[in-house]
Structure 1
């Protein structure tokens, strides 16, 4: 990687020095002996090369000197000025010399680029570490995106299942409500029917002679809690008969079996349905 920036700078610098030396010898050779012109050309190239070497030494030490840099650019401008002056005074080849007059400035610019590259260059170990960090970040980002997509798909599936289950529950509830409404309508019609009471009394009359039985169908609504059987007190048949008779005649007219049973259990008493009905028959 280092050769990609230093080799073009070295090549352009060498070409610029050769051109500068040739132009000085040709330009001043007519006015003075050629050895003197050669010394002048070598002086320009030598000064440029010396300042360039000093700049490279400072750059290798991590240092920088503005004065040395200014002297180096001055030698580059002098070389470019010599080429431009020769191009302006040459006969028939001014365009060709102007085409190469920019090489000294380009060489200085390439050395500047090479210096910038050296100040920002990293070792292979550091580059490998950076590549590993970037690859790890890309891997984590890809895993995070895949996890989010999977979670989104799972949530979508769950919501779809919940929605379908809710729809099925709603359909079952609607069907059950319709069935209960129809059954309750039937019960209500039977309760309010004119012949229902007479038919039920006709059936129960032989069982409970002399007692007017009241038939009430269940009422749609909240029900009263019944005390727990564990807290009730067991009664003998005699005590049970006396208690039932007392509850039955607590109001006028006498209470029905259903009303008596409700008040009996509300008072915290305990008796099975069979015993309670047997006692009721004995009392009545």
Structure 2
């Protein structure tokens, strides 16, 4: 992984240094001895290389120096300036300007490599991160599968419940239809003029001298008979109730208690409210 950032920086630095040296020798060689031009070119490249080596040493120690960095960028700017000046005085200005940015590009690549080193992780840390990411992906996949399974189960349950409800509704509809047809038949038979005669002719030999009254059941709502209907029925008068209570009370010797008398009173089929029965008991006992 380190080679992916350091190799382009090394290659760009080498190319820019060779290009700077060549331009200095060609440009200044016409004005000064070529040995002087060579020394100038090597001085620019040597200063740049020295500052770069110092920067790399500090980076290896986890340190950083702004003056050294500034000197390195200054050497890169000088090299770029030399290339730009040569390009402007050359007959092929466009071609030389196209490569004049190489020194600054080399410095930028070394900056990128330094940033990569500051954020680089060990193989163990990278393996831990990959494990955590894989675990998160596994949990997400399991959660999605669980949700899909629960959705399918709920869909199947709703389908079953809906189907069962539809079957129950069909059975109820068929039952209601059958009952309606049966009651319609009974109503038709009950309303027929010949029904009573036919049934009478059948039962007359069995019950001579008795004319039965044939009434078939009628389709319709029924009302249950509750306590109000029973209370509305005519009951015993106070005198009759007192006489009955006294008779039951003295049916044994010694006289019965109220609870036993009440039990025998109701077991005999008599009807009276608890309030009236207790009041009669008090009157008789007094």
* Most deviating of 33-42 and 176-185: 33-42
Scaled by the length of structure 1, the TM-score of the pair is 0.64
1:235 corresponds in structure 2 to none
CA distance in 2, matches of 1:66, 1:205: 135
- Cα drift, residue 110 of structure 1: 1.1
CA distance in 1, matches of 2:185, 2:71: 116
The yes-or-no answer on 1:78 pairing with 2:78 is: yes
Distance 1:176 1:73, change over 3 A: same
2:5 corresponds in structure 1 to 5
- Cα drift, residue 23 of structure 1: 2.7
Alignment of 1:14-93 (within 5 A): 14-90=14-90, 92-93=91-92
CA distance in 1, matches of 2:61, 2:176: 93
RMSD: 3.9
Number of equivalences = 231
Distance 1:212 1:87, change over 3 A: closer
2:177 corresponds in structure 1 to 178
* Most deviating of 196-205 and 43-52: 196-205
1:247 corresponds in structure 2 to none
1:117 corresponds in structure 2 to 116
1:146 corresponds in structure 2 to 145
* Most deviating of 6-15 and 137-146: 137-146
Contact 2:183 2:219 in 1 (8 A): no
CA distance in 2, matches of 1:58, 1:197: 125
Corresponding residue SS for 1:122 = coil
CA distance in 2, matches of 1:99, 1:189: 113
Distance 1:94 1:183, change over 3 A: closer
CA distance in 1, matches of 2:83, 2:116: 29
CA distance in 2, matches of 1:204, 1:211: 7
Distance 1:142 1:222, change over 3 A: farther
* Most deviating of 50-59 and 25-34: 25-34
Distance 1:268 1:107, change over 3 A: farther
- Cα drift, residue 73 of structure 1: 1.5
Q: How far does the alpha carbon of each residue in 1:89-111 deviate from its partner, in whole angstroms, 9 at most, with x for none?
A: 34x55454334322111111211
Corresponding residue SS for 2:121 = coil
Q: How far does the alpha carbon of each residue in 1:141-197 deviate from its partner, in whole angstroms, 9 at most, with x for none?
A: 333333333333333333333222222221211111112122233444555666767
- Cα drift, residue 78 of structure 1: 0.4
> Unpaired runs of 5+ in structure 2?
227-265, 272-286
Distance 1:83 1:178, change over 3 A: same
Contact 2:204 2:210 in 1 (8 A): no
Scaled by the length of structure 2, the TM-score of the pair is 0.63
